[in-house]
A and B are shown apart, each in its own frame.
Chain A
Amino acid sequence: MVNRTPVIAIIGAGIAGLEAARQLSALGYKPILIEKAPVTGGHVAEWNRLFPDMSPAADLVQSLEAQTAKVRTMTSTEILSINRLKDGYSLVLSDGNILICQAVLFATGFHLFDASKKEEYGYGIYERVITNRDLEQWFNTRHDARIHNPKAMGFVHCVGSRDIKAGNTQCSKVCCITAIKQAIEIKEEFPDAEVYCFYMDLRLFGKKYEDFYIKAQRDHGIHFIRGRVSEVGEAIDGRVVVKAEDTLNGKPVKVTLDLLVLMAGIVCNPDAQHYAREIGVAVDDDGFLKSRDNVASITESSRPGVFFAGACTGAKTVPETLAEARSAALAIHQYLSKRG
């Protein structure tokens, strides 16, 4: 079917990159995965369990890795520069190689918002304030000095999302359900702890998400307080004092907690923005890469031969990312077939 093998560079070997590589290999291409980190799997590899089935994240990553074992994968490799050629792109890699390719797939994913930028929440200042990523790592490793038999704990939704002051107006999409998932998990771990969720509004759009929400309230007694946290202080014993407004009661609330988890939002990977600018691919005003069309061709960029998969165009769930990776693989296939 394919006469001469065109080279396809996939930037990023997270789940989007791995899935796209798997599909492209199945179509008979020879994609090349370029990963900055020493291991593949991206953010999902750091996660413990995935909603809604609570399946282990490691299973998904391992299965993807096993299916892409034959794909040429360059880990610990950075892209120094990327240039446009007449009918393709050239990538200068940190190992000294130059990769000439006919198509580039951005599977660059996201960056977790730096929660210390919201200084009023005290991340990096107070001992007992952690992020969603820290908690997920604790689920994996069970090692974190900050988490020690908490009696009361809280989750702050929308840290660095839907926040014009933080420069991010977009919704990070997955934090609502992640917070509920983590709240349930930690409640299962410490059944005596009181758990509070401070939210603006809950966006539980996906399959079974609403069930999680009901379960959290009914079976686990997790308290949901609608209202943004205004500030976080530290009590003399090192516990954190959270001040917020309960907008349903119309009253200010103040609780003292042993642990506060900040649901850091999703922002675009700055490397992706940098590469995109180098080859003239548009960046949207929310900082994510701009698709040619947000309805009909979300995996295609404004430039021929450049494709997107996953969170580089906006916050996405795991199943959405995988579906988009397959779709991008097909789009690349069509593009390369048409060129002949």
Chain B
Amino acid sequence: MRERIASHFDPFVIPFLIGMAFVLGYCLIAMIRVIAQLPKADRKRFLVSLITPKYIWINIRDIFLNCLIHVKLWKRNRVLGFMHSSIAFGWFMIILLGHLEVMLFVPERIHLFYYPIFFNYFVAETESTIQGSLLMFLMDFFLLMILSGIAIAIIKRFASRIVGMRRTTRLSLLDQVGLYSLWAIFPLRLLAESFTAHISGGSFLTIPTNWVFRQFLGNDLNALPTWWAYSIALCVFMCVLPFTRYMHIPAEMLLIPMRNAGIRIRHPRKGFALLEVYSCPGCGVCIDACPMSVRKANCKDCTVYLNRQLRRGNERRIEEISDKCLLCGKCTAVCQVGAQGPELRVAQRERRKYALSPSFAGINVRPMASAVVNGAGGESGGVLYFAGCMTQLTPSIRRATTSLLDKAGVRWQMMDPDGGLCCGRPLMMAGRSEQARELIAKNLEIIRASGCDTLLLSCPICYRIFKEEYALEGIRVVHHSVFFQELIAAGKLQVQREDGLKLVWHDPCELGRGCGIYDEPRAALAAAGEVIEAGKHHAESICCGGSLGSLTLSFEQRRPMVQNALDNLTVENPSEIVTGCPLCLATFVRAADRPVRDIAEVLDSHS
């Protein structure tokens, strides 16, 4: 081992130093800004979590698994998983090994920023020692790993279908600069190291290339220009990084601890939301996932483009995208960084000023409250069934549910026999949370008056808000599919299995992705017939297209989405489509080529 350059410096490191200083400075300021924008309570919570041992461990584990290994992406698509983890993990290992080399061979130079990066230029090493050959082998190995990732990236850019993506994002100009400079970095590093390999040593990759080059280039003067080029590529990449999608690399490292601390989006442009927007890698997985993208015109309305417009500050498009979304949550389910598209949009909707804001605080709920008190007949406990407004339009669900409750001998009464108050969820979705809170207070009054111990819902839209936003301690909030599954399992409800009946379960967005209920409805249906799966199911089920979430999609525009969802449900040719949401039911019934029923109707007709 010997140091080749007596001054320990060469002008070619200057571009690298400029880039490094810029990107570190930018990220530091951005980080301080994001933390400062958090509401006070959130900020305190986050900072405390940073020094709590349990969170420290979770944060390190999550950052390692998500940022470097890309575990979520591996589960989804192995080729893309390999591509991303080979670049991220390989690069991380090269930087780590560079530092290791400096610490091992020239520990007195560790304060020089550029030494670990350009180690082979400054220090000539021999591969005859165990340390030397091992480190050089590892360096070449990880470089090869990165190069293989880059090769896949190039193929993906020109033919995304080969790696299993139907659609990918269109890149902005700066994104392209970032992309090409990133592609250039590692081949240039290979060239630079190869040209110096006969002086500074190398391994299985660099020595053969060195030999090849020397056959026709033959002199050492080539080395310096390639080191310059390598340094410049690094500089370009780091200088454009804050303005490109590659900002997700530093942003995600802050996002993960913040999410682990339980911070939520409160403002569409500030704090956590800002961080999420910058964490979006722009991969475009959400484009294929989005139910709206069956219409080509709506491809640019998915979360990746919302994030891009939020960064650009294009107010018109931000409003348009935020209002159009069905809020089905599938983009979050497939997102590698877990960007919460629906929450971001709802936060954006909350900023809107309305000329008219009717108040619900004046509604007199005393008659409804006394009705449920009388209904309970002085006894406490029992089931209070809130059928919800949608079942006014799908009366068969209400009828089947009450019939099943009677068959199982459950003591129940109805909260809204003659129509009730809205649960508040549609207002929440429209971004009018204050008015939703007024309704929540009113409904709470009625529920508390009834003295029930279980609140039964047959609409997942109601179910989600009752579970998330109502203070119902001591009262169990349950969706009818879960409740009936329990009654069947407990033997209180006898369901006859019909041979040859093939049922497919459609996971409603609010019940599945919204509340994580997937297995109970399937278990309940299995008592009535054979349950088969749709093409995409569980967390990846496709929104029916009728969602209340969208404020602007017309029926004409929704029709292809409904058809697409139906096509997905009927791939295994079920004899019946079953769902647990009255809105999905009403949407499907009008377009389906076979019977569509609610789970309560199916169970009722088989018991």
Chain A 224-235 against B: per-residue CB contact (8 Å), 1 yes, 0 no?
Answer: 000000011110
Q: Indicate whether A125 sits within 8 Å of B393 (C-beta atoms), given known contacts A117-B590, A119-B589, A164-B555.
A: no
User: Which residues of B have CB within 8 Å of A117?
Assistant: 589-590
Q: Which residue of A lies closest to B591 (CB)?
A: A167
In the assembly, what is the distance between CA of A231 and CA of B559, in Å? Answer: 23
Given contacts A125-B399, A164-B556, A165-B555, contact A119 B591 (CB under 8 A): no
B392 adjacent to A125 (CB under 8 Å)? no
A: number of interface residues (CB 8 Å): 14
Q: State the CA gap A27–B394 with chains docked (Å).
A: 54
- Interface residue? B381 (CB, 8 A): no
Cβ B396 vs Cβ A125 within 8 A = yes
Check B208 for interface membership: any CB of A closer than 8 A.
no
Task: Confirm or deny: B395 has a beta carbon within 8 angstroms of a beta carbon on chain A.
Answer: yes
A-B contact count (CB 8 A): 33
Cα–Cα, bound, A120→B591 (Å) = 16
Q: CA separation between A122 and B394, bound complex, in Å?
A: 8
Cα–Cα, bound, A167→B556 (Å): 9
Would you give the shortest CB distance from B544 to chain A, in whole angstroms?
Answer: 13
Q: Which residues of A from 127 to 183 have beta carbons under 8 Å from B? A: 164-167
B93 within 8 A of A: no
Q: Contact: B396 with A119, CB < 8 Å?
A: yes
Q: Is the interface of B mostly helix, strand, loop or mixed?
A: helix
A260 to chain B, nearest CB (A): 13
CB closest chain-A residue, reference B586? A119
**A82-131 interface with B by 8 A CB criterion:** 117, 119-120, 122, 125-126
Q: Is the CB of B590 within 8 A of A165?
A: yes
A231 and B393 within 8 A (CB): yes
Output the least CB separation between B459 and chain A (Å): 14
Q: Is B395 touching A234 in the complex (CB atoms < 8 A)?
A: yes
- Per-residue CB contact flags for chain A residues 313-334 toward chain B (1 = under 8 Å, else 0) read 0000000000000000000000
Q: Which residues of B contact A126 (CB under 8 A)?
A: 395
Q: Quote the shortest CB–CB distance from A79 to chain B (angstroms).
A: 20
**In the bound complex, CA of A234 to CA of B399 (Å):** 10
In this complex, the member of A126, A231, A232, A234 whose beta carbon has the largest number of chain B beta carbons within 10 angstroms is A231
CA A126 to CA B395, docked complex, whole Å: 9
Judging by beta carbons under 8 Å apart, are A119 and B555 in contact? no
Residues of B within 8 A of A234 (CB): 395
Shortest beta-carbon distance from B607 to chain A in Å:
18
Contacts of B395 in A (CB 8 A): 119-120, 122, 125-126, 231-234
Residue among B393, B559, B585 facing the most chain A CB atoms (10 A cut-off): B393
In the complex, the answer to whether A120 meets B590 with C-beta atoms within 8 Å is no
Q: Which of B147-172 contact A (CB under 8 A)?
A: none
Which residues of chain B have C-beta atoms less than 8 A from A231's C-beta? 392-393, 395
CA distance A231 to B395 in the complex (A): 9
With the chains together, A117 CA to B595 CA distance in Å?
A: 11
Complex contact B394–A120 (CB within 8 A): yes
| Chain B residue at minimum C-beta to C-beta distance from A168 | B590
* Chain A positions within 8 Å of B393 at CB level: 119-120, 231
Q: What 1/0 flags go to B574-599 for Cβ under 8 Å of A?
A: 00000000000110011100000000
Distance in Å: Cβ of B582 to nearest Cβ of chain A: 9
Query: Closest approach, in angstroms, between the C-beta of A210 and any C-beta of chain B?
Result: 33
Tell me the bound Cα distance from A125 to B589 in angstroms: 15
Restricting to B66-113, which residues have a CB under 8 Å from any CB of A? none
Collect the chain A residues with CB atoms within 8 Å of residue B591's CB: 167
Question: Given the known A-B contacts A164-B555, A164-B556, A166-B590, are A120 and B396 also in contact in the complex, defined by CB atoms under 8 Å?
Answer: no
Provide the bound-state CA to CA distance between A233 and B389, in Å. 12
A119 to B556, CA, bound (A): 21
What is the chain B residue whose CB lies nearest that of A122? B395
* Chain A residue nearest to B592 in the complex (CB): A117
Chain A contacts of B559 at CB under 8 A?
167
B-chain residues with CB within 8 Å of residue A232 when the two chains form the complex: 395
Given contacts A119-B396, A234-B395, 12 further A-B contacts (CB under 8 A): A117-B589, A119-B393, A119-B589, A120-B394, A125-B399, A126-B395, A164-B555, A164-B556, A167-B591, A231-B392, A233-B392, A233-B395
Top 5 closest pairs, chain A to chain B, by CB: A120-B393, A164-B555, A231-B392, A119-B394, A125-B396
**B interface with A by C-beta (< 8 Å):** 392-396, 399, 555-556, 559, 585-586, 589-591
Cβ contacts A to B, 6 pairs, < 8 Å: A119-B395, A119-B585, A120-B393, A125-B395, A164-B555, A234-B395
